[in-house]
Chain A
Amino acid sequence: MDSNLRDRITLAIKGSKADFTDIRLEFIETTSVAYRGDKLEDYLTGRDVGGIVRALVGGSWGMSSFNNLAGLEDRVSEAYACALAAPEGNVRLAEAEPVVDVVRVGITRDFRQVDLAAKQELVKGYSNTIRSQPAIQDAMVSFRDRYSDVYYANSEGAFVFQERPYAVLGLTAIARDGAAVERASDSIACGFDYGLAEGRDDIALEVSARAKELLTSETIKGGRYPVILSPRMAGLFVHEAFGHLSESDFLADNPEAQKMMTLGRRFGEGFLNITDGGGSTAGLRGTLKYDDEGVPTAETHLVREGTLVGRLHSRETAGKMEEKPTGNARATFYRYPPIVRMTNTCIKPGPHRFDDMISDIELGIYAKIGGGGQTFLENFSFASGGSYMIRNGEVAELVKDVNFGGNLFTTLANIDAIADDFTWLAGGSSCGKGQEMMLPVGMGAPHVRVQDVLIGGRS
């Protein structure tokens, strides 16, 4: 932590004429190593330095973001001038205790201590492993890391310095047979421990075998099925199907949406519990002591015993809805002001056993490995890169092109069993929202069974 810089930030804020002012500066170092087949595709390092000033005047924001850190006072004046260009607004910040803290994260093995050439050897090794497997035409393996020092200060006296380490090892195998091309991917988050990226031939072999198996798999038949989601799929499911609807920025100015999401509304069975929290578990993708407004990241209960009990807030949305901030104001980096985002979202363990959940399914889907997902308010989709038919109570053959769709209200109500085998997702999960892509988030769940899930497919 650079105390001269801290003094400069504090001084610049003191000169502001706005009702509220904050400054966030970020210093980012990145490295990226990627192989495609036997070819080194990326081998690069980068430095990204910048900041953003927010000034609140008469209920409207003015902001200034920049790469040149000289003249912070001018940026504060510019943010103030921007706020004056806006008409009178309705933004009001909820109270938050001004925190002063310097947060150093505990890292087991620091990826910054590993030189570029060693990362290259690691990535190359996995690419070779994948390509040596039968039916494999191509491999894409990457290791990308990003280390940020983030300074945050506001006109109420808060000052927070945080380190944020992110790293992801990604592996993709591409199998080919004539015109048929299939791919299978997986990833491991290793920002808090580079060791997690080493010795992972198990993943390289799994993606290779799955890509090959997909070549001879049938496309799923479209329709409605009972689905058992593996913990990693259920994590993605809760993020897409419920998490985004608990982000209050879509509620704060929409009275009809607030009615739809009234606290106390019943969403599911009594064994359904959903939480979000950046501070509750160490070493996850969304783990963070303070959000980008310097608010501690508490654990927030969203659904308790099937009933909606909470939602995620920034100071702005909490202020508008007269609730408490939850520490969910996050920005991917300095170019953006913080908006309401998830941290680590999970479905808590339930009372059921996996064996019992599957045994009475005559025809269904076991969704084992995740893909991407997207939410359009109450409608969502999430893809699976590895799903199996369930036939007569047992996991059967792999099927391809599996993409689940659903509606928030009906889908959560259709969860009829939750297992006791909770795990956090180990992969490099990220979330995009609005203009911002790739914010690291954590997801976790046990096995979850959902009835009557719509799956697109052949007729």
Chain B
Amino acid sequence: MSSRRLMATEDLAARFLEAAVGRTAQAEVHVVSSDSSNINFTAGRVRAVDAAQRVNVSLRVINNGRLGFYTTTDTSDPADAVERALEAADKGQPADFDFPGPSDGPDPNTFADETASLTQQALVSRGEALLGIVGAANPDVVVDGNLSSRIEATALLNSSGCRVARETTPVTVFLSADRVRENDVASVYSFYSACRLGGDLDTIAQNLLQTFRWAERNTSIKSGQMPVVLNPRLAQVLLMTIFMGVDGNNLNRGVSPLADRLGERVLDPRISIVEDGTLDMWPSSSSHDSEGVPLRTTPIIEDGMLKTFLYDLRAAAEAGVEPTGHGHRHPGYPPRVAPSNVIFRPAQQGSFQDLIADIEEGLYVEELIGVGNSNTIAGAFSNPVAMAFKIERGEITGRVKDASIMGNVYDLLRDDLGGISAETRRFGSLEAPFILLDNVNVASK
């Protein structure tokens, strides 16, 4: 059943497509329209309630074999938008692909009635309850937060007959908590996003409280190579490198370190990484990518073996392969090669406690500063810790400040994987376990 919003979004896309047909050989219209409510909490209380209406129309044309793009939030003049896209196509990049025709894709459920019917008052109450848990346990912690819910309709229409229309209900929760004691600052944040609010909110609060308990005591650590355990959120540091390596554009340009490694064992055999756009209630699930190619479940790394590269229409045409359904975009921007949801496969068994149990001396890192500022494509990372703890004889014994970790993602995941937990955490479109890496460089006092 189509809602009124979805139909209106499709109609808007159809008006732009109509204006383009006849003026250009091929055209594609991508429209995103949404209504959202956002509650902002400062120091434990509501500071602002806001409502936002958004609409964005992006138009791509292929004319005389060249691609043109125009984007606007002003929906009043489709004919002008077509002219602007044609102007860009005049000297645009040669397009050696066609916009795809209709195709069947998966149909993950990304619309939750309970989210669509959330009132601002209900969001305020959920937020007050969540911040209350953290505040009650830590009177000297100042908690800020944001809760937002959105109903978003997306329509993709093109002149080859592709017609994709989807409606989703993303909710996001962001929580940050600061504890200042003289010159000792502990700053912790967490976030959650999915298509509905689940019991995960309590987990977020409990994890924050755990961090503050561990940070009650400061300690120090000696410089050197040692075992380092990464919080599941920091799997992102590792995955940034892997996903740059499997990006078809980097392969085409000859700068991927994974070039020529397809089918080979590139990482430790315990590592499997899956990209999956078909999961119910995950924020990046859909039937098709934003160019009209069906989404699927894509093993990236299986038992350490490199299984695939990722392509959008353009990169696939350049490489002479089929597109893989990885042309994703933010409203207002052209599609780029990107993953949807990502799962770093957990181990069969073992909690976080089990993972650290055998560590004589090491570091558990919850947050790094300046992630992505290194030579990421080559696997290099070097970051000061924002929140990290010393592990001694299998126990967390205190917070370590003024330390920095450094290593190479490819080397560590190939030669120095100490272990993976079965326990996982989910942060938006990423789910990952705790990851133990042996022999990470730690610089400290």
Please list the residues of chain A having a beta carbon within 8 angstroms of any beta carbon in chain B: 36-37, 39-50, 60-68, 78-79, 82-83, 85-87, 89-91, 116-117, 120, 137-138, 174, 176, 179-183, 214, 219, 222-224, 250, 253-254, 256-257, 259-260, 335, 337, 371-383, 400-407, 409, 435, 454-459
Binding-face segment, B130-138, B181-189, B209-217, B292-300 = B181-189
Interface centre among A138, A174, A376, A456 (most CB of B within 10 A): A456
Q: Does B224 contact A (CB under 8 A)?
A: yes
- Let me know if B7 is at the binding interface, CB within 8 A: no
B residues 42-101 in Cβ contact with A at 8 Å? 42-43, 45-56, 67-75, 84, 87-88, 90-93
Cα-based distance from A159 to B50 in the complex (angstroms) = 23
Does B206 reach chain A (CB closer than 8 Å)? Answer: no
Q: Provide 28 A-B residue pairs closer than 8 Å at the C-beta atoms, listed in order of the A residue.
A: A36-B253, A43-B67, A45-B88, A47-B84, A50-B73, A60-B46, A60-B47, A62-B48, A63-B51, A67-B75, A68-B75, A85-B49, A89-B46, A116-B87, A116-B88, A174-B253, A174-B255, A181-B378, A214-B375, A222-B404, A335-B52, A373-B373, A403-B373, A403-B404, A435-B174, A454-B384, A456-B443, A457-B441
Q: Which listed residue (B42, B72, B187, B249) contacts A46, Cβ 8 A?
A: B72
Q: How far is B377's CA from A373's CA once the two chains are assembled, in angstroms?
A: 18
- Interface check B382, CB cutoff 8 A: yes
> Which A residues lie within 8 Å of B406 (CB)?
219, 222, 401, 403, 456-458
B164 to chain A, nearest CB (A): 22
Please, what's the 1-or-0 string for B371-412, where 1 marks a CB less than 8 Å from any CB in chain A? 111110110101111100000000000000111111000000
Those 5 A-B pairs whose CB atoms lie nearest each other, nearest first = A405-B384, A222-B443, A456-B404, A253-B43, A63-B50
Flag if A89 contacts B383 (CB, 8 Å).
no
Cβ-based interface call for B120 (8 A) = yes
Q: B358 in the interface, Cβ–Cβ < 8 Å?
A: no
Q: Closest chain B residue to A87 by CB distance? A: B46
Q: B68, B69, B142, B369: which contacts A376 (Cβ < 8 A)?
A: B369
Q: Across the interface, do B142 and A253 meet the contact criterion of CB distance under 8 Å?
A: yes
Question: Could you tell me if B120 and A67 are in contact, using CB atoms closer than 8 angstroms?
Answer: no
B398 to chain A, nearest CB (A): 16
Complexed CA–CA distance, A174 and B252 (Å)? 14
Q: Report the Cα distance A446→B174, complex, angstroms.
A: 38
Q: Is B280 an interface residue (CB 8 A)?
A: no
Task: Known contacts A40-B92, A66-B53, A117-B91; decide if A409 and B70 are in contact (CB<8 Å).
Answer: no
Residues of B within 8 Å of A50, CB to CB, are: 73
B367 at the interface (CB under 8 A from A): yes
By a CB distance below 8 angstroms, the chain A residues around B40 are 61
List residues of chain A with CB within 8 A of the CB of B382: 383, 401-403, 456-457
Per-residue interface assignment for chain B, residues 114 to 133, with 1 indicating a CB less than 8 Å from any chain A CB and 0 otherwise: 00000011001000000000
Tell me the count of chain B residues lying within 8 A, CB to CB, of chain A: 85
Contact of B404 among A85, A335, A455 (CB under 8 A): A455
- Measured in the bound complex, the distance between the Cα atoms of B72 and A44 in whole Å is 11
- What residues of chain A lie closer than 8 Å to B373, measured between beta carbons? 371-374, 381-383, 403
Bound-state CA distance A216–B77 (Å) is: 55
Pick from A36, A67, A259, A260 the residue with the most CB of B within 10 Å: A67
**For the complex, what is the distance from the CA of A41 to the CA of B92, rounded to whole Å?**
9
Chain A hits for B249, CB < 8 A: 36
Let me know if A43 and B43 touch, CB within 8 A. no
* A78 and B375 in contact, given A45-B87, A116-B87, A456-B404 (Cβ under 8 angstroms): no
Q: Is the CB of B49 within 8 A of A82?
A: yes
Find out whether the CB atom of A40 lies under 8 angstroms from the CB atom of B93. Answer: yes
Chain A residues, Cβ within 8 Å of B369: 374-376, 379-381, 405
* B138-186 interface (Cβ within 8 A of A): 140, 142, 146, 174, 178-183, 185
CB contact between B49 and one of A63, A174, A403 (< 8 Å): that residue: A63
Distance, CA A383 to CA B402, complexed state (A): 16
In the assembly, what is the distance between CA of A335 and CA of B47, in Å?
A: 17
Apart from A36-B253, A459-B225, what are 15 other A-B pairs with CB-CB below 8 Å?
A36-B249, A45-B87, A47-B73, A47-B84, A50-B73, A62-B50, A86-B48, A89-B45, A91-B47, A219-B380, A254-B178, A257-B178, A401-B380, A403-B406, A456-B441
Q: Is the CB of A407 within 8 A of B178?
A: no
Are A137 and B53 in contact (CB-based, < 8 A)? no
The answer to whether B71 and A44 touch across the interface, beta carbons within 8 angstroms, is yes
Q: Is B257 an interface position by the 8 A CB rule? A: yes
Shortest distance between the CB of B425 and any CB in chain A (Å): 20
**Identity of the chain B residue whose Cβ is nearest the Cβ of A178 in the assembled complex:** B257
Tell me the bound Cα distance from A167 to B347 in angstroms.
Answer: 48
B334 at the binding interface (Cβ < 8 Å): yes
- The answer to whether A43 and B183 touch across the interface, beta carbons within 8 angstroms, is no
Closest Cβ–Cβ distance, residue A251 to chain B (whole Å): 10
Chain B hits for A41, CB < 8 A: 93
Q: Is B105 an interface residue (CB 8 A)?
A: no
Within 8 A of A (CB), among B244-286: 249, 253-255, 257
Measured in the bound complex, the distance between the Cα atoms of B380 and A403 in whole Å is 11
In the complex, per-residue mask of B210-240: 1 if CB is within 8 Å of any chain A CB, else 0: 0000000000000111000000000000000
Q: For A257, what are the chain B residues with a Cβ–Cβ distance below 8 Å?
A: 142, 178, 180, 185
Residues of B contacting A181 with CB < 8 Å? 255, 257, 375, 377-378
Smallest beta-carbon distance B397→chain A, Å: 20
Contact A260/B182 with A174-B255, A176-B254 known, Cβ cut-off 8 Å: yes
Quick check: B183 and A260 within 8 Å, CB to CB? yes
**B181: which of A43, A256, A456 is its contact (CB, 8 Å)?**
A256
> Would you call B384 and A379 a contact (CB within 8 A)?
yes
Distance between A436 CB and nearest chain B CB, rounded to angstroms: 12
By a CB distance below 8 angstroms, the chain B residues around A383 are 370, 373-374, 382
Query: In the bound complex, how far is the Cα of B255 from the Cα of A175, in angstroms?
Result: 8
Interface presence of B106 (CB below 8 A): no
CA gap between A260 and B54 in the complex, in Å: 41
In the bound complex, do residue A48 and residue B93 qualify as a contact, i.e. CB atoms below 8 Å apart? no
Judging by beta carbons under 8 Å apart, are B124 and A120 in contact? no
Question: What separation, in Å, do the CA atoms of A80 and B382 have in the docked complex?
Answer: 47
